[in-house]
Amino acid sequence: MDTVQISLEFDKSVFSALRQDPSGFARELRLAAAAKWYELGLVSQAKAAEIADLSRVEFLIALQRFSVSPFQYTPEEVVQEVDRA
């Protein structure tokens, strides 16, 4: 796999405020970004799981923590699906 490393700097107080060590903070940051981008429809479930470094099932379960629905349908799409049934 071809990877790129990204470096971010945070004040040490961020880690204690979130009760995370830097490694845990990085995992949580990846998950939060993936969940939000998925919620906004910017990435697919599979890509969001990859960003979060989780399996797709683990990612779908983790969405509950962020109150993000695993179903990303617009109201119009729901109506279309119901009409087709």
| Predicted model pTM | 0.81
Structural domain range at position 59 = 16-84
Instruction: Answer whether residue 25 is part of any domain.
Output: yes
Measured torsion, CA atoms of residues 65, 6, 46, 14, in degrees rounded to the nearest 10: 0
Q: How many domains does the chain have?
A: 1
44 CB-near residues (< 8 Å, 6+ apart): 38
CA atoms of 60 and 39, how far apart (whole Å):
12
Whether residue 11 is contained in a domain is answered as: no
Instruction: Assess if residue 58 is contained within a domain.
Output: yes
Whether 54 maps to a domain, the answer reads yes
84 by DSSP, 3-state: which?
helix
List pLDDT tens digits, range 24-75: 999 999 999 999 999 999 999 999 999 999 999 999 999 999 999 998 887 8
Euclidean distance between CA atoms 51 and 60, whole angstroms: 13
Residues 7 and 35: beta-carbon distance below 8 Å:
no
